[in-house]
Amino acid sequence: MKVSTMRETVPNSKSLIQAIIDKSGLKQEVYHKTLDVFNLFKKESENFINSNKSRLKKVKFPPLFEYSDKSAFEFQLKFGSDILIFFMHSNVFEIPRDHLVMKSSYIREDKSRSYCGIIHVFNFLSDSFKYNRTNDIGYCIGRIFVNRENHYFTEGKREIGLLYNNFTGNILDLKAIQNIIHSSILYTINFDLLTPPYDTIKEVTVAEMQTTLDAMSISTGKRLGFRFQADHE
């Protein structure tokens, strides 16, 4: 029986360095493409707020309507009683092998297309931040996957997850970015705050009652105590 040698199983230095260069180059390309896209999300979100602010001036009870640039990887949209937080992960990920898009000819032709940057969209209640209610619950309502060729697909709730899932054909251009922003806002304003089940709040400690209501450890969330499943709300 032939015994494998180290020379046969371990790549030489030249091929190993080339592998590092290739993989690092691919991830850097995906990262910079995702960052470019994220900056477009920032720009279009700010434009949406600024171009519509004047329409709220004559409203009797004008809603909160703000854009906040928090960092290179985060911005917030505040409207009414809600906040949408867009967060770009700084790392690059490969789509799992068992994911549906991995079966497409688009990926089979070039496996490097399966490496993506991810932009998450989180929904919180604006009062959770205003009153520092650290026990309150937020939800990831969607995430956007972007590869080096600017193809994308989304996962998430209703409009966000169902309308933009054609990785082979979807190009993340300006119109697509606007549609995702609008869909995220539409889903959020229709995702209402429900009264939590009585059993979750029937017992309160003396210490909690001695603090203000907003600082109590009773969590507030749109579906607290209820099932929250992707694409079924």
With residue 87 as reference, give the H or E element that holds it: strand 82-88
Per-residue pLDDT tens over the stretch 151-191:
999 988 766 655 667 899 999 999 999 999 999 999 998 87
| Assessment of whether the complete model's pTM goes beyond 0.75 | yes
Q: What is the pLDDT of residues 46-65, one digit of tens each?
A: 999 999 988 888 888 888 89
Query: Scanning the structure block, which residue is given the tokens 């607290």?
Result: 224
Helix (H, G, I), strand (E, B) or coil at 79: strand
What DSSP letter does each residue of 128-163 carry, written as one string?
Answer: HHHTT-TT---EEEEEEEE-TTSBEEEEESHHHHHS
Domain range annotation of the chain: 24-215
Fill in the DSSP letter of residue 171. B
Token pair in block for residue 68: 């906040």
Residue 122 to residue 88: CA distance in whole angstroms: 11
The low-confidence residues of the chain, meaning pLDDT below 50, are 1, 3-6, 214, 224-233
Backbone angles phi, psi at 61, to 5 degrees: -120, 80
